[in-house]
Amino acid sequence: MKTRKDIHKRKRRKWVWITLSIILLIGVGVAAYAYSIYYNVKSTVDNDIHETVTGIDHEATKKKIEAEEPLNILLLGVDEREGDRGRSDTMIVMTLDPANEKMQMISIPRDTRTQIVGKGIDDKINHAYAFGGSEMSVNTVENFLDIELDYYLRMNMEGLGQLVDAVGGISVQNEFAFEYSGKNFPKGEISLNGEEALAWVRMRYDDPQGDAGRNERQRQVIQGIIDKGANMNAVGKINEVMDVLGNNVATNMKFADMRNLATNYRGARRDISTYQMTGEGTRIDDIYYLQIPQSEVDKTHEMITDVTS
């Protein structure tokens, strides 16, 4: 005959098993969701946005990553429209230094006159992308600064705005009040959604610093996305971010490369420095160019190689 105590034990064991079953089901569900996110990210990177360039020595880059050495990444911002490849209006050499936890971003003005490698002419550096895509841009920047690039990442400027929305908006420091594309931007710290961020970085002619001022705003938006993306709720946002990247980004990174950077190079964002190359405007055959003196090129080369050497 079963006593009340035996019945109580059976009920308690039953609830223990129910509780364990619920925990197990939740665990399986979370694991399955985590795997689906992982698979989605890996599939997007390796199948949708990966694009190789022959001008980069990927084996040399792989050895650098294994040794956790500094890396140079070329960021290209392209205003690409249907039927028109466009030009790389933003060219930034980003250097990641994991040992000293530093990131350096150097902007190359779009009108810089230099040799276009593979075309055999001197022209504006942003025309390299129009002539030969990412491949020619990589080769031209490497030749111009006498450096080795490890990765490149190209983003359509429309995608930049979508990425700002995907991370929930960003905050930037606006140096002066202005209006552009029907939007008002007061002086001081301001919050931007994607559409506002795109207008904020596109304004050029009303900036007292011209192209240099616009490049600084572009760097601020990139930094804002990096900072917000590193701290956002990845589970809730990662699929939206990957959709934006899949539709607007091309890079020679594979998923394993990105994972290594996220693991071993993430400390580099703690100390970010920026630099804008400067030169003198001139007209040749009635076309405006920016002539950057060799001394400025040498200085920029040393800024990059001092980190990577």
Q: How many CB atoms lie within 10 A of CB 189?
A: 9
pLDDT value of position 155: 85
What's the sign of the alpha-carbon dihedral 115, 117, 119, 123?
negative
pLDDT value of position 5: 53
**Contact in structure between 172 and 186 (CB atoms under 8 Å):** no
Q: Cα 6 to chain center, whole Å?
A: 64
Torsion, CA 192, CA 271, CA 152, CA 281, rounded to 10: 80
* 309 residues of the chain, pLDDT tens digit each: 555 555 555 545 544 544 454 444 444 444 444 545 566 667 777 777 888 899 899 899 989 988 889 999 999 988 765 555 567 888 999 999 999 999 898 999 999 999 999 999 999 999 999 999 999 999 999 999 999 999 998 988 888 888 899 888 999 999 999 999 999 999 999 999 999 999 998 898 888 888 788 888 988 888 888 877 766 554 556 677 777 878 888 889 888 888 788 778 878 878 889 899 999 999 999 999 999 999 999 999 999 998 755
What are the C-alpha distances in Å from 179 to residues 183, 184, 210? 5, 4, 15
DSSP for 127-187 reads: HHHHHHHHHHHHHHHHHHHT----EEEEEEHHHHHHHHHHTT-EEEEESS-EEETTEEE-S
